[in-house]
Chains A and B, each alone.
Chain A
Amino acid sequence: MTTTRSRSKQSTDGPVPPKPARRPRGWGRATPYLLIVPAVLLELLIHIVPMLVGIWMSFVQLTQFFIANWSQAPYAGLGNYRVALNFSGPLGQSLLHSFEITAAYTVIVVGLAWVFGMSAALVLQRSFRGRGILRTLFLVPYALPIYAGIMTWSFMYQRDNGLLNHVLHDDLHLTDGTTFWLVGNNAFIAMTVAALWRSWPFAFLMLMAGMQNISEEVYDAASVDGAGIWKQIRFITLPSLRPVNGVLVLMLFLWTFNDFNTPFVLFGQTPPPSADLVSIHIYDNSFVNWNFGFGSAMSVLLLLFLLVCTGVYLLLLNRRSRRA
């Protein structure tokens, strides 16, 4: 506001510019906005409006009695939020449990995906015979459709005729008795492994791309100065990858924390308690229990949590990179 006013003031105070030049300038200023108008409209339609509707839903009692006529749903105020955040109540307790499971899942999957991706990218940084084949091979899980990949895992995890039990029990005799992988506490391990398999190639791809930008000369200079491989990684590779890492970890975090497909395909609508991730927990409460108001309240809480995490993370990252 103030800038445009001061500018217009300037233009009236200053020498009058030649007339023909003015119009194109106005158009020129409008062009970028015009160009993004379609994108903004679609974004509003596809993302923002449903999000606002979701936020509205979280403040009403949208249960089975009102889903056919939303406008009559009684206003619930913060009631849905109170139930969700009352951790001594049964629903709050199960939300907290689901949140803890999701946090553990995210830390393990993101951490290991980064370690695997980084290791593979480092190994494949220097060219050698067969590098192309290995790169392609490593990217296969990422190229496969998610559902097809995870369904294959669910077949391997079957107790009686699954590949995993066949190898562990029948061939290697490591386990006594056949193990359940999709039931009980093992379900968490099963889900984590499948998710890790799916997400590490993405870390690998991003880090590999990042490494292409590091000049060979820097490494050469470092090795002339007597830096070993570990020192090179620590003082050249990792610092150069900082911007890539910043984005990569954030994306992996958001994807993994929001993960719905992995538990849904492995376990169906209601996963065992040890694999009850937040997204599917919310889905359960909305669709299986027909309580969309409560489901929306939990979704809004999840949204707020992820926003805060992202904000704090970006703030820390910027501060650190500025300091560096």
Chain B
Amino acid sequence: MKLRLIPAALTVLAVSATAACGSGGSSSSGSGSASSGSGSASASAAAGRGSGATLTYWASNQAATIQDDQKVLGTEMAKFKKQTGINVNVQVIGWPDLLNKILGATTSGQGPDVLNIGNTWAASLQATGAFMPFDAAALQAIGGKDKFVQTAFKTGGAPGKDPTSVPLYGLVYGLYYNKKMFADAGLKPPTTWEQLQTDAKKLTDPSKGTYGMAMEGGSYTESVHFAFIFGQQHGADPFNAQGKPQFTTPGMVAGVKQYVDLMSNKVVNPSSVQYKNGPEAPGDFAKGKAAMLMSQNNADNTLQADGMKSDAYGVVPIPAMTGNKDIASFVAGINISIFKNTKNKAAALKLVKFMTSPAEQAILDKPFTALPVVKNGTVNYTTNKAEAAAFADILATKAVPLPLIPAESAYETNVGNAVNQLLAQAATGNKVSDSDIKAALQAAQDKMASAG
């Protein structure tokens, strides 16, 4: 009995010892990192006489690669530390993961201090209550709300509430066209949707692998954006005044049809329904496989990374059908938010103030090919004056905001995915009728309604 017990007791001892070791190890390493953290903080406090805090900042991927973002922001954060003594730990997060990570942080309460969000999520994320509202005092601390371009500032949250985000980078959609392909075909950039369709047909030659239009047909965000823009051209709003979805109005159906018809009319490479990561459609355009591309202005980065010079393409507003409203984009862009649970509110406000200061905006807009969101800013990311003027004009006169309601995010996913399926149907050679579109939109609306 005793003999048998000895190994057992030894095993128990060994297990408990290793467990103790594990916990001891982790706690000691924890305290180690904490002490080193406080050490560096105190050092920086001594150096910069600032608050000495360390902020975590989740940045979105704006440059061609995450490494490029990290490089740009690294330089700027060093500058910020010099000015304020505040350390910033920048983490650049790719678009496919960003919303999930934000939701994870929201659910667990363990998040960064400061973060970037897609501005269309602003009202939905505001509803979670996880973000710090910018009240009058907070707005004062970042330099006042009047420093922002008002159309951009309005995307910060639902109307009538303190915004939970402020604009950081401005983006709008434009129609990129390949100058040489248009000139070779004797065409001018289209000013109506009908012209665009005939041009696209003329420029399509499947035997050579060239098409009139490039499309990211597997991306639900692209799909819902165009469903919205074209719906607006037809005078249709996805939500009524009470915030209830109304996706099946004739205008909404016509808007979706306008987009899906590009695929049905075979002016788009059918394979592009598989594109969903971002660079594929601009890639086709840059390589001359497509003559036109409807994209936000940050496509410049991808085009140039793919070897297309900025004088090889022109930009005009996405045209509307004759007689329809002249809306070419929604107010897209990136906003910056402060996580409510931050322990360094003062430092976080300083970082937001820094990032949205006119001087920093002028620097950051260049590598991130963004439009200015502060007043008196100029489009400076391109030397192509016509392009800069076109995008500035679209933002100022032809852009409307997406619905600023909590259900916006659900609208994006449900309608976007419905449109994706319609595109897939068209790409595989099946006719997409008006009633198909209506049924798909009805299903999306029902799903949203019963999801509550």
Q: Given known contacts A35-B8, A90-B447, A273-B421, is B103 in contact with A183 (CB within 8 Å)?
A: no
The yes or no answer to A221 lying at the interface (CB within 8 A) is no
For chain A residues 49-81, which have a beta carbon within 8 Å of chain B? 61, 63-70
Q: Report which of B96, B107, B409, B421 forms a contact with A67, defined as CB distance below 8 A.
A: B107
**Would A64 and B413 count as touching, CB distance under 8 A?**
no
Q: Per a CB cutoff under 8 Å, which of B124, B274, B450 touches A64?
A: B124
Which residues of chain A are near B406, meaning CB under 8 Å? 64-65
A25 to B1, CA, bound (A): 8
Known pairs A67-B106, A68-B130; A158 contacts B274 (CB<8 A) = yes
Does A35 contact B11, Cβ atoms closer than 8 Å? yes
Task: Please give me the residue from chain B that is nearest to A161 by CB atom.
Answer: B271
Asked if B452 and A272 make an inter-chain contact with CB atoms under 8 angstroms apart, the answer reads no
A132 within 8 Å of B by Cβ? Answer: no
Q: Are B12 and A290 in contact (CB under 8 A)?
A: no
Contacts of A292 in B (CB 8 A): 107
Cβ of A288 < 8 Å from any Cβ of B? yes
Q: Is B5 an interface residue (CB 8 A)?
A: yes
- Does B144 make an interface contact (CB < 8 A)? no
10 contacts between A and B (CB under 8 A): A28-B5, A31-B12, A83-B451, A159-B270, A180-B428, A183-B427, A184-B424, A268-B276, A270-B220, A289-B410
- Nearest Cβ in chain A — how far from B415, in angstroms? 12
Interface assignment of B75: CB less than 8 Å from any CB of chain A? no
Asked if A91 is at the interface (CB within 8 A of a chain B CB), the reply is yes
Q: Contact mask A17-56 → B, CB, 8 Å, 1/0?
A: 0000100110110010011001000000000000000000
Query: Would A270 and B5 be within 8 Å (CB), given that A91-B451, A180-B427 are in contact?
Result: no
**Interface SS of B by simple majority:** helix
Please name the 10 residue pairs, one residue from A and one from B, whose CB atoms are nearest each other, closest first: A68-B130, A90-B446, A159-B271, A183-B424, A288-B413, A184-B428, A68-B128, A68-B129, A31-B8, A160-B271
Rounded to whole angstroms, the CA-CA distance of A149 and B276 in the bound complex is: 20
* Residue of chain B at shortest CB distance from A184: B428
* B418–chain A nearest beta-carbon distance, Å: 10
Cα–Cα, bound, A289→B407 (Å): 9
Check if B450 sits within 8 Å of A90, measured CB to CB: yes
B302 within 8 A of A: no
Partner of A289, one of B128, B413, B420, B424: B413
Instruction: Determine whether A291 belongs to the interface, using a CB cutoff of 8 Å to chain B.
Output: yes
> Within the assembled complex, what's the spacing in Å between the Cα atoms of A149 and B406?
39
Q: CB of A240 within 8 A of chain B?
A: no
A187 (CB) vs chain B CBs: closest residue: B424
Q: Is A182 an interface residue (CB 8 A)?
A: yes
Residues of A close to B409: CB separation below 8 A: 64, 290
Q: Which residue of A lies closest to B429 (CB)?
A: A177
Tell me whether B290 is interfacial, beta carbon within 8 Å.
no
Chain B: CB-nearest residue to A293:
B452
A94 at the interface (CB under 8 A from B): yes
What 0/1 readout, one digit per residue, does chain B (205-244) give for beta carbons within 8 Å of chain A? 0000000000000101000000000000000000000000
B5's partner among A31, A63, A69, A268 (CB-CB below 8 A) is: A31
Q: Which positions 121-154 of chain B face chain A at CB distance < 8 Å?
A: 124, 127-130
Contact with A along B85-128 (1 / 0, CB 8 A): 00000000000100010010011010000000000000010011
Contact A35 B12 (CB under 8 A): yes
Q: With A63-B452, A64-B127, A91-B447 known to touch, is A287 a contact of B103 (CB < 8 Å)?
A: yes
Residue A89 interfacial (CB < 8 Å): yes
Interface centre among A90, A272, A273, A285 (most CB of B within 10 A): A90
**B117 CB, nearest partner CB in chain A, Å:** 14
Contacts of B443 in A (CB 8 A): 90
Find the residue from B124, B129, B443 having the highest chain A CB count within 10 A. Answer: B129
Contact B421 A272 (CB under 8 A): yes
Interface size on B, residues (CB 8 A): 48
Question: Does A294 sit at the interface, judged by CB under 8 A?
Answer: yes
Contact B417 A270, beta carbon cutoff 8 Å? yes
Q: Which of B398-447 contact A (CB under 8 A)?
A: 406, 409-410, 413-414, 417, 420-421, 424-425, 427-428, 443, 446-447
- Chain A: residues with Cβ within 8 Å of the partner, total of 43
| B15 with A38: CB separation less than 8 A | yes
Tell me if A291 and B452 are in contact (CB < 8 A). yes
Report chain A residues within 8 Å CB of B270: 159, 180
Which residue from chain B places its CB closest to the CB of A292 in the assembled complex?
B107
In the bound complex, do residue A159 and residue B274 qualify as a contact, i.e. CB atoms below 8 Å apart? yes
Central interface residue in A61, A69, A290, by most chain B CB within 10 Å? A290
Asked whether B220 lies within 8 Å of A182 as measured between CB atoms, the reply is no
Q: For the complex, give the distance between the alpha carbons of A31 and B12 in Å.
A: 8
In contact, A68 and B109 (Cβ under 8 angstroms): yes
* A291 contacts across to B, CB distance below 8 A: 451-452
Task: Bits for B1-32, please: 1 = Cβ < 8 Å to A, else 0.
Answer: 11011001101100100010000000000000
12 A-B pairs besides A27-B5, A31-B12, A65-B128 with CB distance below 8 A are: A28-B5, A31-B9, A35-B11, A67-B107, A67-B128, A89-B450, A94-B447, A159-B270, A180-B274, A183-B428, A270-B220, A272-B424
Contact A294 B451 (CB under 8 A): yes
Interchain CB contact (< 8 A) of B106 among A68, A268, A270: A68
Known: A90-B446, A91-B447, A272-B421. A290 touches B428 (CB 8 A): no
Is B273 located at the chain interface by the 8 A CB criterion?
yes
How many Å from the CB of A74 to the closest CB on chain B?
11
A66 to B452, CA, bound (A): 13
Complex: chain B residue closest to A158, CB-CB: B274
Contacts of B420 in A (CB 8 A): 270
Query: Contact at A290–B271, with CB atoms within 8 Å?
Result: no
A64/B128 contact (C-beta < 8 A), A91-B450, A268-B218 known: yes
Q: Are B274 and A182 in contact (CB under 8 A)?
A: yes
CA distance A272 to B340 in the complex (A): 37
A267 to B203, CA, bound (A): 31
Assembly CA distance A182 to B12 (angstroms): 53
A263-287 CB mask vs B (1 if < 8 Å, else 0) is: 0000011101100000000000101
Chain B residue contacts of A184, Cβ below 8 A: 424-425, 428
State whether A61 and B452 are in contact (beta carbons under 8 Å apart), knowing that A180-B428, A289-B413, A290-B409 are contacts in the complex. Answer: yes
What residues on A are CB-neighbors of B447 within 8 Å?
A: 90-91, 94, 289
Q: Is the CB of A65 within 8 A of B1?
A: no
Docked-complex contact A289 and B107, CB < 8 angstroms = no
Measured in the bound complex, the distance between the Cα atoms of B420 and A308 in whole Å is 36
